[in-house]
């Protein structure tokens, strides 16, 4: 008896290469135990213990702690490497990894203590508000009596009495904030105008926030956030109020995570305005799943953040608040200059966003050195205050930024810039899968008007990549003239119907 085998169009096709368009990433850099201890000093063991407790890479906890500490210091302490150069401590941290890499648990290790402090601040605000409401109510009675007395005095031709101090309860208390999640730029500016010190923006997923900046207001949010890194003065004019919001020092630290594919998509779309280049980016390998053997010392982090937030500010000749300026020692300035010269060498071999990142590393070193110096101080109860930033602080920061964060940044986005034909192949691959294409010609792709695929030559170059990846096959038909070329899609690909 003859067995009839059903026709299977896919049987004649190899499996397609589904990695098409994905960047080839270098291995994750790893810091040795001795290096880790040298860089983070008294916080090295806490970071490792917190990472073990959360079953997350220590890299995530480390940069989360640095960014959070920078927000706690805020505008109270700015670093001065030399005359004419002042840097706020503001740090932005991006945790890159797959959904199960442990980004959120690592963030929780640092942000949960912040939430505890925010609950304390909320309780303090409620008590202060209740007291103010009571005083304001009494002030209203006093004000009403004064108005009546003044009216009577004027009616009798006499001098009205002076307004008593009891008739004014003063401004209401301000609700202090440390951390914000998703609020408008106007609200951020309003908070900073009232609290002055600085804020921490914490997001589980940064890519959505970053990509939404250009969705409204013609991209107006991007200049705001660029200024928020620099700590400069900023003014927002409000439509519904004659008074603008004036911020003396627009300082917002940022920490959050994203996935590699979302970051790659973001990098392809964004302009190199320096926004992404400002992030401390870590992209470690995932750690093995295990049951933690230690517990998180949350009290230590709470104490440190509270101490950093308690740092006093300076005042100018008019009595306005301003940062204390912490100067570099001569040895520290010399070390920084050597690092700047090394960055110039690294820049010569870099391109695109990675080049932009390297260009900002000297300023990042200044900020990290400032934060490390104050974290050292916060780790020791009743320790000596930071009066200068020395060569040890700068050396630790240079090693961390130059030898560790730099290869992490290259792994995250320095290698993500693919050749034009590969980018075009990825666009066509998306069209095939989303539209369910099975057979098409070059002009079918051209007429869609996608960036980088306007000419027949661009389309053919991208199709050559897909042919090599076994996504397509050429079908040529000859009818006496030039052959007509179509492209058949691999039946093994899952496409939308």
What is the pTM assigned to this prediction?
A: 0.78
Q: Which of 296, 308, 316, 312 is nearest to 253 (CA)?
A: 308
Per-residue pLDDT, 92: 97
Per-residue pLDDT, 452: 82
Backbone phi and psi for residue 388, each to the nearest 5 degrees, phi listed first: -160, 165
Per-residue pLDDT, 216: 47
Per-residue pLDDT, 270: 60
DSSP 411: I
- CA dist 147 and 153 (Å) reads 10
- Determine how many CB atoms are found less than 10 A away from the CB of residue 419: 10
CA angle 82–73–121, rounded 5-degree value: 160
- CA dist 346 and 352 (Å) reads 13
Q: What ranges make up the beta strands (E) of 62-121? A: 77-82, 85-87, 92-96
Contact of 489 with 467, CB cutoff 8 Å = no
Q: pLDDT tens-digit profile of 32-42?
A: 999 999 999 99
- CA dist 215 and 228 (Å) reads 19
Where is 225: in which H helix or E strand?
Answer: helix 221-230
Per-residue pLDDT, 413: 77
Contact of 369 with 79, CB cutoff 8 Å = yes
- CA dist 344 and 341 (Å) reads 5
Contact of 393 with 333, CB cutoff 8 Å = no
DSSP 455: S
The stretches in the chain having pLDDT less than 70 are 1-11, 21-24, 214-220, 239, 265, 267-272, 414-418, 480-481, 495-497
Q: Which of 272, 416, 414 is nearest to 351 (CA)?
A: 414
């Amino acid at each position: 008896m003859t067995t009839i085998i059903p026709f299977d169009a896919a049987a004649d096709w190899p499996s397609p290469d589904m990695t098409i368009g994905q960047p080839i990433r270098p291995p994750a850099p790893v810091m040795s135990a001795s290096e880790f201890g040298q860089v983070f000093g008294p916080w090295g063991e806490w970071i490792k213990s917190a990472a073990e407790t959360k079953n997350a890479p220590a890299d995530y906890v480390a940069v989360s702690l640095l960014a959070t500490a920078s927000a706690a210091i805020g505008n109270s302490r700015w670093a001065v490497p030399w005359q004419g150069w002042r840097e706020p401590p503001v740090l932005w941290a991006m945790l890159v990894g797959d959904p199960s890499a442990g980004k959120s648990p690592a963030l929780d290790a640092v942000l949960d203590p912040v939430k505890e402090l925010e609950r304390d601040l909320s309780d303090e605000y409620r008590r202060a508000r209740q007291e103010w409401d009571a005083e304001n109510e009494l002030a209203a009675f006093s004000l009403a009596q004064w108005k009546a007395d003044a009216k009577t005095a004027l009616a009798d031709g006499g001098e009205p009495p002076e307004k008593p101090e009891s008739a004014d309860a003063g401004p209401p208390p301000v609700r202090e904030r440390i951390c914000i999640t998703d609020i408008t730029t106007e609200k951020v500016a309003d908070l900073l105008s009232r609290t002055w010190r600085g804020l921490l923006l914490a997001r589980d997923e940064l890519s959505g926030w970053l990509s939404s900046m250009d969705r409204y207001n013609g991209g107006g949010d991007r200049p705001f956030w660029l200024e928020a890194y620099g700590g400069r003065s900023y003014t927002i004019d409000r439509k519904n109020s004659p008074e603008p919001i004036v911020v003396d020092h627009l300082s917002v630290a940022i920490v959050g995570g994203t996935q590699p594919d979302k970051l790659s998509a973001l990098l392809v779309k964004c302009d190199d305005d320096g926004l992404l280049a400002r992030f401390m980016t870590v992209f470690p390998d995932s750690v093995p799943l295990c049951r933690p053997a230690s517990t998180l010392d949350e009290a230590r982090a709470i104490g440190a953040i509270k101490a950093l937030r308690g740092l006093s500010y300076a005042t100018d000749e008019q009595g306005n608040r301003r940062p204390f300026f912490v100067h570099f020692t001569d040895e520290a300035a010399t070390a920084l200059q050597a690092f700047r010269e090394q960055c110039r060498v690294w820049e010569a071999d870099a391109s695109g966003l990675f080049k932009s990142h390297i260009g900002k590393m000297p300023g990042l070193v200044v900020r990290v050195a400032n934060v490390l110096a104050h974290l050292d101080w916060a780790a020791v109860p009743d320790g000596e205050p930071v009066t200068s930033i020395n060569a040890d602080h700068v050396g630790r920061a240079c090693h961390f930024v130059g030898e560790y964060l730099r290869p992490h940044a290259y792994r995250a986005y320095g290698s993500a810039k693919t050749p034009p034909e590969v980018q075009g192949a990825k666009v066509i691959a998306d069209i095939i899968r989303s539209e369910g294409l099975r057979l098409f010609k070059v002009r079918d792709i051209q007429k869609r008007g996608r960036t980088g695929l306007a000419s027949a030559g661009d389309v053919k170059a991208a199709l050559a990549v897909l042919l090599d990846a076994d996504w397509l096959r050429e079908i040529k038909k000859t009818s006496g003239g030039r052959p007509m070329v179509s492209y058949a899609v691999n039946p093994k690909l899952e496409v939308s119907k």
